[in-house]
Amino acid sequence: MKVYRWVGTISMIAILGISGCRQSPPPQPTPKPSAIEAKLELDNLSFEQVDNQGKLLWKVRAQHGVYTPDRKRANVTKLVGDLYQDGKIIMHITANTGEVEQAGEKVILRGDVVTKEIRNQLVLSGQEVEWQPKLDLLTIRNRVQANQPKFQVNANEGKYLSRKQQLDLTGKITATSTTPQLAIQTEHLTWLVKDRQIIGDRPTQIQRYRSNRITDRATANSFSSALDRQIINLQRQVQLNATDPLIQVNGESFSWDLQRELVTADRPLKIVHDREGVTFTADAGQLDLNGSIATLTGNATGIATRNQAQLRSDRLIWQIASQQLVGTGNVVYQQTAPTLKFTGTRGVGKLQDQSIVISSDGKRRVQTDFIPQ
């Protein structure tokens, strides 16, 4: 059996539509019965709800409240309280105003509501918060903010599942991280607070900063990240734009290790270096942004857009700063002026000036084909 306790100091009872005893006036036409509305005003109000086992579900204290018995609801001001789970406090709350149902099904708080989730150093704030203890659900609306020491999110609405310790955010979302320094924009975000993971299943933009300057930009249709490990997994129509080196990388599946400055693709990718006029494609690859090296595997192909020189191999290492290439395994080099084709087991050089040296491993000779115009 649930128990609801309402305690306070009565300051005024207002009952409308009830008349007391006095000398009878001259007979008057009998009026229609009027509606009776009773309101009980209380100062220093406190109330709580317990479950069938007598464990607290919530406990609230307010400076002032107005209780309407027929509606079984209290409107309160200057509210502070605690939300419980399994008999233990999990959240502290403060609000300017609030509304509490006597049945205990929900507590609605309004006006600069701040909720502190004590297990995870998580602070949730908004202009309206609704707590439904049966569902272990806290809903935050209107100018929602969720903050931890190194990660903050703004959104239109948030739903915190207290037992799962999971926060689902929707609307126009902006998230920022301090270590590493990131800004994330999307429209739906799931934050696994206890596990320190974030998951997005909508188009997302991510900016990487150094000394308040954007160094890298990424877009994807979905992503996930382990905040402690500083790794972002980008999925579906991924594009990464780096400034040092100045390249663009496109693909379907990237793992971006922010601490090690590594981008790893386990599916086909494309790298474009507009300034040098070269494009590379492969079935998979790894990009070392710090060392300015790309290692491509599986049908690795480099093309110089100005002269259409092309090098294809099983494995290709591209030194981005010097533009030096090393291709190994089933190497094929082609150029158009003059039109030539070389095949071997190793190719070294630069595509831009057609200075590629093809060699073999001794098991077979380098083959040269002259292609007539």
Q: What is the pLDDT of residue 366?
A: 56
Enclosing H/E stretch for 336: strand 324-336
What is the mean predicted confidence (pLDDT) over 341-360? 88
Q: What is the Cα 250 distance to its own chain's centre?
A: 22
Q: What is the pLDDT of residue 9?
A: 43
Q: What is the pLDDT of residue 82?
A: 92
Residues 172, 184 contacting (CB under 8 angstroms): no
Beta-carbon contacts of 310 under 8 Å, excluding residues fewer than 6 positions away, are 301, 302, 303, 304, 332, 333, 334, 335, 351
Token pair belonging to 173: 């979302």
Q: What is the pLDDT of residues 63-90, one digit of tens each?
A: 888 877 665 677 888 889 999 988 899 9
Q: What is the pLDDT of residues 207-264, one digit of tens each?
A: 999 888 999 999 999 999 988 888 999 999 999 999 988 999 999 999 999 999 999 9
Q: What is the pLDDT of residues 167-223, one digit of tens each?
A: 999 999 999 998 889 999 999 999 999 999 999 999 999 999 988 899 999 999 999
Beta-carbon contacts of 106 under 8 Å, excluding residues fewer than 6 positions away, are 130, 131, 132, 133
Q: What is the pLDDT of residue 24?
A: 45
Q: What is the pLDDT of residues 265-311, one digit of tens each?
A: 999 999 999 999 999 999 999 999 999 999 999 999 999 988 889 99
Q: What is the pLDDT of residue 254?
A: 96
